[in-house]
């Protein structure tokens, strides 16, 4: 199926269906909706350029015809590349050495921001939003790519354009690291407090489990908090009064119990508190240091509320920044890909520039068939040469993908 880039509006479904299925079938509708769903979810694209021997329009028509006949479920689009400044052959060769590495870097930053968006949306409980570039969906921006002359003047040297894109993306990556670090720092502090409030009684903060009436503090009496193993509570209740002298009889009260321990109070004379701690430890009971302070409790509450608010604000700010920055990086990446196609096409096909660039999204099952179609549209002698190359033995200086083909080809993974 062909979706020409020249049309700003989608081709009516009825028209496309009639083209693909000129006859009526009862099962066509089910297939059709599955097919449309697959198109909408495309996340892997090929960017290719083919050598032009007659005219670009003739080659484009032939390609459309071949795809329609032999791989109708492969979306096909023109990839419009302007007439860029060629420069010298030496400059192109030097540039091509850096293209593959720079592409991997830019693609990596794009995916890093995308993963951060997905994580922030998940923890925020938000529905996943379709990412956009300049207000249009990512896949539409790719398949209807238009060069931004204002940002990247076509008369600028290719090296200047590539270096400018690399520098811009590197700055965005650095900014991402700073923002994520700030967010994770607050998130880590909040998680630490939550662990203290929800962990084992042996280590957690006890202030929210103890009420003022649970604590007796006088000139002579003190109340201690004992952490008792869950299955040793009977032992505690039968022995705590005898662990030392001057323990107030029947003063122990259970305040809380988790899966491992129970929290008990015990009241005794302050002068024997150390002896009680020692004896309790020998029996397997832990006496926690605790001082009830309404002021400290209120301060902890306010600190927690502030951290929660800071986390929400930072998460919202980071998410909005990621949405905007993803669009910037993706736009820069597509311009970089255009430069890459242009440079590699010149190195492979020669001057003057005469090639047809396009974008395809074949299914995994249809890849081999599409490769055959593309190869058939290249010069037969050139195709024979590339078939003799070892797998992965792309021509030196082209910076191509792992597989060798008689045409420029590389893959874009947008998700």
Kindly list the structural domains of the chain, giving each domain's residue range(s) and its CATH number in brackets, ordered by start: 1-83+355-415 (no CATH), 88-198+298-352 (1.20.1460.10), 212-291 (3.30.70.100)
Convert the pLDDT of each residue in 16-41 to its tens digit: 444 444 433 333 333 333 344 444 55
CB atoms within 10 A of CB 408: 26
Q: CA-to-CA distance for 41 and 52, rounded, in angstroms?
A: 31
What distance in Å separates the CA atoms of residue 355 and residue 50, rounded to the nearest whole number?
5
CA dihedral 4, 366, 47, 66 (to 10 degrees): -50
- Work out the pLDDT band at 299, boundaries 50, 70, 90: confident
Residue 17 vs residue 209, higher pLDDT: 209
* Mean pLDDT to the nearest integer, 261-281: 95
Mean pLDDT of the chain: 84
Confidence of residue 198 (pLDDT cuts 50, 70, 90): confident
Cα separation, 29 vs 306, in Å, equals: 55
Residue showing tokens 């020249």: 6
Report whether pLDDT(1) > 50: no
Mean of the pLDDT values across residues 325-331?
97
69-111 tens-digit pLDDT: 998 889 999 999 999 998 888 889 989 888 989 999 999 999 9
User: 196-205, 241-250, 276-285, 383-392: which has the minimum mean pLDDT?
Assistant: 383-392
d(CA 129, CA 123): 14
Higher pLDDT, 385 or 27: 385
Model pLDDT, residue 52: 93
**pLDDT, position 41:** 53
3-state helix, strand, coil in the chain (%, to 5): 55, 15, 35
Interacting residues of 412 by C-beta distance below 8 A, sequence separation 6+: 44, 45, 46, 47, 107, 142, 337
Task: Count the alpha carbons within 13 Å of 257 in the hemisphere toward its beta carbon.
Answer: 9
Model confidence pLDDT, tens digit, residues 238-267: 999 999 999 999 999 999 998 899 999 999
Residue the block writes with tokens 């049309």: 7
Q: What pLDDT is attached to residue 48?
A: 96
Q: What is the mean pLDDT of residues 362-380?
A: 89
CA geometry: angle 31, 35, 39, nearest 5 deg: 175
Reported confidence tier of residue 194, pLDDT bands at 50, 70, 90: confident
- At 380, the pLDDT band (50, 70, 90 cuts) reads low
Phi, psi of 256, rounded to the nearest 5 degrees: -165, 155
What average pLDDT does the segment 377-381 reach? 69
Query: What confidence tens digit (pLDDT) does each residue in 347-368 have?
Result: 999 988 999 999 999 999 999 9
């Amino acid at each position: 199926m062909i979706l020409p880039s020249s049309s700003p509006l989608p081709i009516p479904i009825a028209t496309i269906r009639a083209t693909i299925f000129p006859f009526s079938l009862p099962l066509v509708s089910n297939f059709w909706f599955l097919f449309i769903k697959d198109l909408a979810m495309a996340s892997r694209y090929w960017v290719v350029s083919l050598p032009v021997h007659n005219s670009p329009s003739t080659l484009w028509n032939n390609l459309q015809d071949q795809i329609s006949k032999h791989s109708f479920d492969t979306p096909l689009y023109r990839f419009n590349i302007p007439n860029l400044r060629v420069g010298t052959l030496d400059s192109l060769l030097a540039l091509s050495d850096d293209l593959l590495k720079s592409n991997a870097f830019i693609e990596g930053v794009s995916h890093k921001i995308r993963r951060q968006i997905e994580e922030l949306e998940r923890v925020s409980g938000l529905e996943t939003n379709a990412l956009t570039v300049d207000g249009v969906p990512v896949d539409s921006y790719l398949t209807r790519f238009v060069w931004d002359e204002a940002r990247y003047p076509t008369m600028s040297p290719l090296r200047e354009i590539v270096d400018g894109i690399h520098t811009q993306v590197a700055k965005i990556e650095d900014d991402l690291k700073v923002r994520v670090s700030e967010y994770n720092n607050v998130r880590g502090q909040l998680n630490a407090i939550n662990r203290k409030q929800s962990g084992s009684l042996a280590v957690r903060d006890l202030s929210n489990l103890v009420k003022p009436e649970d604590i007796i503090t006088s000139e002579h009496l003190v109340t201690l908090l004992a952490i008792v193993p869950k299955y040793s509570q009977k032992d505690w209740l039968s022995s705590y009064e005898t662990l030392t002298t001057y323990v107030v009889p029947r003063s122990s009260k259970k305040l809380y119990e988790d899966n491992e321990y129970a929290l008990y109070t015990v009241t005794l004379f302050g002068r024997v508190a150390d002896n009680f701690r020692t004896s309790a430890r020998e029996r397997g009971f832990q006496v926690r240091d605790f001082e009830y302070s309404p002021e400290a409790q209120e301060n902890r509450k306010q600190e927690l509320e502030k951290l929660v608010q800071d986390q929400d604000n930072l998460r919202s700010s980071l998410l909005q920044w990621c949405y905007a920055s993803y669009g910037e990086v993706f736009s820069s990446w597509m311009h970089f890909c255009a430069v890459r196609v242009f440079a590699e096409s010149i190195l492979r096909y020669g001057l003057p520039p005469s090639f047809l660039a396009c974008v395809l999204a074949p299914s995994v099952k249809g890849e081999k068939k599409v490769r055959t179609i593309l190869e058939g549209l290249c010069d037969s002698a050139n195709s024979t040469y590339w078939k003799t190359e070892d797998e992965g033995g792309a021509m030196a200086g082209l910076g191509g993908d792992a597989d060798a083909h008689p045409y420029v080809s590389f893959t874009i993974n947008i998700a």
